[in-house]
Structures are given as C-alpha cells and as structure tokens.
Structure 1
Amino acid sequence: MLAFHSDAHSLALPPGHRFPQSKYRLLREHFEREPGLLRMAAAPAATEGELALAHTPDYVDAVIHGHLGAAQQREIGFPWSPSMAARSRHSVGASIAAARAALQEGVAANMAGGTHHAYADKGSGYCVFNDVAVAARLMQAEWARTRRSLLRILVIDLDVHQGNGTAAIFRDDDTVFTFSMHGARNFPFRKEASDLDVELPDGRGDADYLAALDRALAEVWQRCEPGLAFYLAGADPHEADRLGRLKLTYDGLAERDRRVLAALRERRVPVALSMAGGYGHDLATTVAVQVNTLNLAAESWASWVSERGTG
C-alpha cells in the first residue's frame, strides 16, 4: 500500500509547544524498520491552484508568503515560518497523492493530514490547510475531466474532535457527505453541522463507541453512495490521550479501523486515510495506534488487490 509522508518539513515551534510533531517522524521511522506491506514515498507539495479549490486565494497567499496576522497565527496555534508553509503544502500534497493512489489501488494513506479544523478562509486548531477538502475537490475535478461523470465523496471523520472546517467548506455541497463522530464536550466548542454528527459523552469506552459507529455507518450507507472515501483515523479517542476524554483501548481502536475498512471494501469504495489527531501522554502510545491503523489499511489494500486479481 502506498503511504505518503511529509515530516521532512518541520515546524519552527518554541520550546514546550504542545503540538507533538515528532510523532510523524517516529511513524515513518517505524515503517522504515518494518515496512510490511507499506510502500512509502515523499509527498509532493500542493500547488496554489490546488489549494484554491477549497481555500480563498487571499488566505492561500497569506500562508505561502507570510502575511498571516498575529491573531491568525494564534488561532492556528503555530507561528508562521517558511517551513510551516512548506509543511502545510506537502501535507495537503500527501492527501492528494493518497486519493489518486486509492482510486487506482483501493486503499492508500497520508501518514499525517486530517487537518479538519481549517476553514476556507482561515486555519484553526493546529490545522493550516484542509487537506481532505482540497483533495476531494481536486479528485472530483480530475474525475469529471477524464470520466465525464460525477464523483461523490464520503468523509468519515473519527478524530475525537469534530471536523468543523470540513463541515463548513462542504455545507452547501450535496456531492460530499460529511460524517463526524466526536466528543460532545471537546474542541471545537462551537460545532458546525456535518451531514451526520454523532456526539459522544466523556468517558465512552469500546463497546459504546463501536455500537454508535455501527449505527452511524448504517445511516451513512442509506444516505450516501460514494465513489471515494476519506477516512480520518484519529488516535485521540484512545484512553491515554491528553486531549481525547474518551476511553477506547488499543484493541477498540483496531476494531474501529477494521469495521470502517471492511465496510468500504465490501462496497468497493476506494479510501484515502489520514492519521489526524493523537496527543498521548506517552507519544509512543499514539504512534503504536497509528502503526496499527496503517497495518490494517495495508491488509485491506492487499485484499483489494487479491479480489481484483480474481474478480
């Protein structure tokens, strides 16, 4: 399975900053030691034109050329630097590349991404550009140009925080179905309306979470027939996450991933994954969750390839 990384472009963060950017390097280094079914590649940078498919030109220009104001940088949570702009563009490029690969091979991944708090005209909550929104719009444009038909998109957002920026960008777009299952009392405290929102009380564990997921997916399939899915497989519902407030175990998160991937494969819906959030007290725990997500995705990819070969 193809997986695209962008951690070569680091953030110039002050000492003690809460964002755990080293997890992306640790994730890549794990798969360099134990690649399994993963084929890793460096992500290309998204172009200004590609970014403008989901973001206003003024905002794109401000990020790339360093015109963000102090208040905008505070809302994002990162100080501007050339490396911040480069990292943001390559992270979007990773989701674009993963989406293209998924349409060819069934499953692919961005080893970062899931920056779902970014709106069309601003960033927020450690999210500069909305990688899924840009990739979704670009895949639709490329599909229409080559296939002369409409590509419907499904966003399955299982980060513990609501995908407010994604919901806002696609609010009036009936070609993209947005589903977010998240903590009711967690960031962002002002939620946007997704096509389907499932809010969970603090402290929910494996059984309650998986039951809610099954009910939600059943509703999704009744309301949506996608040609491509984006799956934000956040590690932050884990019980040891600093910001999550839910109580999923390692095994519970693995079962979450299995159910999502199996449901998509059963319906022959290609999927591009992104790792989204994860803020473990012990960063190794977050990395272990995301390693398992990528291994399960790679197993699903292998099934896609096998089924295609025998179909």
Structure 2
Amino acid sequence: MHSRLRPELPLFYNDVYRVDLPDGHRFPMEKYRLVREGLQGELLGRVNGIPAVSFAVSPTASLDDLCTTHDKGYVERYFEGRFTNRENRTVGFPWSEASVKRSLSSVGGTVAAMHAVCADGELRDRRPGARRTPPSLFSGHIAGGTHHAFSDRGEGFCVFSDIAVAANVALRDYPETIRQILIVDCDVHQGNGNAVLFKSKPEVSTFSIHCKANYFSEKEDSDVDIEVEEGAGDEEYLSLLSERLPSLVDHVRPDLIFYQGGVDPLEHDRLGRLSLTREGLRLRNRLVYDTALARGIPTVLTMGGGYPKDLDPASEDFGHIVRSHRDVYEDAAACINTSAF
C-alpha cells in the first residue's frame, strides 16, 4: 500500500487544439470538450468523497519522443503536409496545421500523464526489487488511445500511437524503475498498431479485448487477444475480462499500466457491434482499476473510441457516449478515494 498526503488524479486535455472538420464528417470531435467540461463540473465542484483532481492543457509531443516509436521520415512528412491523399483518407482526417497540433497534443498529453505517475519514483526507494511510491497512482489524458498507428503509417483516426510513445519514453527516462509495461486495451477494435509496435519488445506486453466481428483492417497478434462475439453483453464480456486480466497482471508484473478505455463496446455506439450497458462499462473500469490498485501499479488512462449514432452534440445518443467517457475518469477518482493507501 502507498502512503501519500492526498490522493490526486492529474488529468490532461487537448480540446483547445480544435480542428474544424468538413460537414458530414463522422468523427465526433466535440466529445472531447464536453467530456472535459463535464469532468471539471463534477470533480472540481465536490470536496468530500472525491480526491483532489487537477486539469492541465496537454503539451505537444517532441520530435525526440515521437521518434522513440515512429519513423522519423514519416513524422517529418506529416509535419510538412506531405502525406498523400490516400494516406490522409486512411487516417480519416484532412491534413491541416491545426490537425498537426491536435495530433501532437494527443501524444503529448499521454506522455505528460505518464510522467505524472513516474516522475519522482526513482527518488523514493532505490532498494533492489522495491516498488516506488509515485506522487499519484493514477493519471489520465482526456484524449489519446490512438492504437491503430504503426511506425510509418496511420489508420482509423490515428496518426501516431500516444500510448506506444509514452511507453517507450517511460522505458527511456525511468530505466531504474520502469522495466515492464502492460497495455490494457478495452476498445471495441483490436489495438493492432500497438501489437505490431511491440511485437519484438518484451518490455511491453499488449492485451486487447475486442469484438470478433469488428476488424476494419488486417488482424495483428497482441501478446493476449480476447475476441468477444458480436452482440455480447455485460455478462459475457466481464466474465472474459475477469478471467484473464488479473492473472495476466500477476504473470507480467508490470511497473506501469496503460489503460485504453474506449467506450465503443457500449450498446449505443454506432460502430461497436457489442451490447454493453453503461453499468457494464463501469464494472469494466472498476475491474481494471481494482486490479492495478490491489498491486500498487501506477496506471495511465486514455480515452479511446466512442461513436454516437447521432452526431448532433445536443442529442441523446451523443450524450450516452460522453457520459460513458466521463465514467472512465470519474470511476478512477472514486476508486482512488475509496482505497486505503
């Protein structure tokens, strides 16, 4: 157990880097602002029963950090607007200077969240085999989860992999304390990019639980892949997750966990093909958090997918997605507050 003066959940957000998409574009860009505003209203507005939560604008990722993971030529071509039309279509966004800033902040916020749980770990306990006590056990980025990016190409609304970059930066910057990392990917789509990026890197283990009928590109091999049947609901999904995740964590013994908390398994999601309820997703969140907390493992939360059937931000469908995204962070705050440190 950890002893701290106060539990704190540092959160980073990048909705200030706004990208105006063409009319009819299917990406729900407004959800990021709505999730952040909802969290600020809920978590900053309460004192008793909620841990201290901080909010900060996501920094933009550096070239050095990006190149821990991505091909330098690929990164520079994107910076300079030299993607082909086909590359832009595959990523899913038209190129603009605003989109570059948003992509960089999508990575930079996850890197910053990683530093928030790792930064002073090396200073607290240098005994062989001892776990560090981070300033915060959980941190989060209200964006990111861009798990379909590869070293030299992107797809599925992902230019760079924020989690992969943050994982590689953690291994680079905290070699004494971060030796093993686990990516827990609960998006409805397989984390194919991260599976490839870490295929030959035993320091990072990849776990993906996703819909069996929802591959939009070639399937890749994670260290552990769990395919959930189309239409599955809470009981089947949670049974599979609870059967595999805690034992995997005990086997890997990670020093750091990244949680891709996509909400597209939700029954209201336009693209998901699963039938989880909001309560089912909250139980999923709690399972991940309880597993990490029980073992004292610092955990970084990212947003991932969530696609409303109605793209009007004022619609009920849009509200379902926003509410479930908020739950990912609010459930973390509640878990921190109710746990003994």
Query: Same fold by TM (over 0.5)?
Result: yes
User: 1:235, 1:289 within 8 Å by CA — same for their partners in 2?
Assistant: yes
Q: Aligned equivalents of 2:151 and 2:18: distance in 1?
A: 23
The C-alpha deviation readout for 1:172-211, integer Å capped at 9, x for no partner, is: 1100010000011113341110000001111000000000
Larger radius of gyration between Structure 1 and Structure 2 = 2
Q: Aligned equivalents of 1:44 and 1:138: distance in 2?
A: 15
Does structure 1 residue 175 correspond to structure 2 residue 203?
yes
Aligned to 1:242: 270
Aligned to 1:243, the other structure's residue is in SS state: coil
Q: 2:160 aligns with which of 123, 129, 132?
A: 129
Q: 1:156 aligns with which of 184, 209, 212?
A: 184
Does structure 1 residue 89 correspond to structure 2 residue 97?
no
Aligned to 1:111: 142
Q: Which moved more, 1:121-130 or 1:8-17?
A: 8-17
Q: Which moved more, 1:238-247 or 1:213-222?
A: 213-222
Q: Aligned equivalents of 1:303 and 1:70: distance in 2?
A: 50
Q: Aligned equivalents of 2:30 and 2:71: distance in 1?
A: 30
Q: 2:229 aligns with which of 196, 201, 210?
A: 201
Give 5+ residue unaligned stretches, structure 2: 1-8, 45-50, 119-133, 310-316
Q: Aligned equivalents of 1:237 and 1:166: distance in 2?
A: 19
Aligned to 1:232: 260
Aligned to 2:124: none
> Alignment RMSD, CA only?
1.3
User: 1:102, 1:270 within 8 Å by CA — same for their partners in 2?
Assistant: yes
Q: TM-score, normalised by structure 2?
A: 0.86
User: 1:108, 1:301 within 8 Å by CA — same for their partners in 2?
Assistant: no
Indicate the percent of aligned positions where both proteins have the same amino acid: 39
Q: TM-score, normalised by structure 1?
A: 0.94
| Equivalent residue runs for 1:67-78 within 5 Å | 67-78=82-93
Q: Aligned equivalents of 2:19 and 2:252: distance in 1?
A: 38
After TM superposition, give the deviation of residue 298 of structure 1 in Å: 1.3
Q: Which moved more, 1:34-43 or 1:73-82?
A: 34-43
After TM superposition, give the deviation of residue 222 of structure 1 in Å: 4.6
User: 2:110, 2:163 within 8 Å by CA — same for their partners in 1?
Assistant: yes
| Equivalent residue runs for 1:1-311 within 5 Å | 1-36=9-44, 37=51, 38-103=53-118, 104=134, 105-144=136-175, 147=176, 150-281=178-309, 282-303=317-338, 307=341
The C-alpha deviation readout for 1:269-306, integer Å capped at 9, x for no partner, is: 100000100002211111100111111111233356x5
After TM superposition, give the deviation of residue 150 of structure 1 in Å: 5.0
Q: Aligned equivalents of 1:39 and 1:89: distance in 2?
A: 21
Q: Aligned equivalents of 1:2 and 1:241: distance in 2?
A: 28
The C-alpha deviation readout for 1:212-244, integer Å capped at 9, x for no partner, is: 001121441353110000000111000010000
Q: Aligned equivalents of 2:151 and 2:297: distance in 1?
A: 27
The C-alpha deviation readout for 1:128-149, integer Å capped at 9, x for no partner, is: 11000000000111111xx3x5
Aligned to 1:34, the other structure's residue is in SS state: helix
After TM superposition, give the deviation of residue 164 of structure 1 in Å: 0.3
Q: Aligned equivalents of 1:227 and 1:188: distance in 2?
A: 32
After TM superposition, give the deviation of residue 92 of structure 1 in Å: 0.5
Give 5+ residue unaligned stretches, structure 1: none
Deviating beyond 4 angstroms after TM superposition, the runs of 4 or more aligned structure 1 residues are: none
User: 1:107, 1:300 within 8 Å by CA — same for their partners in 2?
Assistant: no
After TM superposition, give the deviation of residue 10 of structure 1 in Å: 1.8
User: 2:246, 2:291 within 8 Å by CA — same for their partners in 1?
Assistant: no
Q: Aligned equivalents of 1:97 and 1:268: distance in 2?
A: 20
Aligned to 2:122: none
Q: Which moved more, 1:64-73 or 1:169-178?
A: 64-73
